[in-house]
Amino acid sequence: MNFPKSCDTFVVLSNHNKDRRVIFGKNSDRPQNEVQEVVFIKGGLRDKKLKCTYITIEESANPVNDVILSKPAWMWGAEMGANDKNVVIGNEAVWTNNNDGDGDAKEKRLLGMDLLRLGLERGNTAEDALCVITTLLEIYGQGGPCSEHDDYHYYHNSYIIADPTEAWVLETSGKLWVAEKLESGYRNISNGLTITTKIDKHSEKLHEIAKSMKLWDGETKFNFTECFSSGGDDIRQEEGEILLKNSTAGMSFDVKDMFYILRHKESFICRGCDDSYPTQGSQPLREHYLYSLHAARVIKSDNETIIKILQDTENGYIDKIEDYIRTLDSGHSTLHELDCIMKECVETEVKLYGG
């Protein structure tokens, strides 16, 4: 099988950055011509039944969280997102050797992206969200086409789930799963399994099932990746680790360093618009207005001057948001002020392009 070379998720915990905050980042690399939108969805009580991308499940009996999602427009779920409890999640496609029965990813079940959104809507901490995802995975399973136009694009999933104090890596194979807790340092995942012998939580009867599938002898130390992996992008995984190691060496990692990693082209962590799986939010042929203006001035003309202006403008708004966060922590800011900053940021970019 030829795996799409797409998607990377990163997290740097508070002991490695200058502001002592968890910094999370993800590139969403999706098929050409697919619109990916950023949406806010208000929480609260919902109906008893919930229609996800392919199947209907039981809705939570409790009010769900407000969420901000970056999602392919055609599906219910999302590639990444955050909730109003300060939980963030990003997912990756992975391929495993567990492809029959509950592990058959061709069957329409919950998409990995549906599980991500459900974790954000129902989880108030990173560990809560992990529990939500794994519980629903064991009930409903995962599977179904992950592309709007390609019925043969399907996979299992891995995740980084973080909140202000800790992060978890969750990796799955059908209904089976393992999770590793991160309390310091940094971590990245690409499109392959990474959890080996450090397993802090796992699905019930994981070891018995692995042994019955003749993937583990029951005597050597259990290694999830060795048992279940059927391949991945080792090169991009290694490149991401190197970028994180170098960027965190001074223990002063910040959001601009994360931007640098996400924009790194030589490693293919950032993929161009001409790639079959480009790193884009709103892509050619069905562009949103701002993307159309950006493409005309930056991508097509390769205008280095305007790129420099954009970077300077971006840095200015990062500073404004950092100031906002500091005053928010002290109780002197409101969400309305953040709305104004974001609106001003978009309007400034539109004017820059002459729109």
pLDDT tier for residue 3 given thresholds of 50, 70 and 90? low
CA-CA distance, 24 to 29, in Å (whole number)?
17
CA-CA distance, 203 to 111, in Å (whole number)?
18
Is 282's pLDDT higher than 60? no
pTM, two decimals, is 0.93
Write out pLDDT tens, residues 142-158: 999 999 988 889 999 99
Is 299's pLDDT higher than 70? no
User: Hey, what are 106's tokens?
Assistant: 């061709």
> Do 9 and 88 contact (CB within 8 A), yes or no?
no
Pairing mode, if any, of strands 186-189 and 8-12? antiparallel
pLDDT tier for residue 1 given thresholds of 50, 70 and 90? very low
pLDDT for position 208: 97
CA-CA distance, 16 to 12, in Å (whole number)?
7
Is 305's pLDDT higher than 90? no
7 is catalytic: yes
Q: How many helices (H) and strands (E) does the chain have?
A: 9, 13
Question: What Rg do the C-alpha atoms of the chain give, in angstroms?
Answer: 20
Write out pLDDT tens, residues 234-281: 889 999 999 999 999 999 999 999 999 999 999 999 988 778 888 876
Write out pLDDT tens, residues 26-41: 999 998 878 888 999 9
Strand-pair partners of 49: 58
User: Hey, what are 290's tokens?
Assistant: 């701002």
Active site residue: 7, 52, 146, 227, which one? Answer: 7
pLDDT for position 296: 79
Q: Which CATH class is domain 8-250?
A: alpha beta
Instruction: Find the mean pLDDT for residues 126-141.
Output: 98
> Do 157 and 143 contact (CB within 8 A), yes or no?
no
Identify the DSSP state of 160.
Answer: E
Q: Which of 247, 258, 254 is nearest to 26 (CA)?
A: 258
CA-CA distance, 103 to 92, in Å (whole number)?
17
Question: Which residue has tokens 């991401």?
Answer: 240
Provide the CB-side half-sphere exposure for 239 (13 A, CA). 18
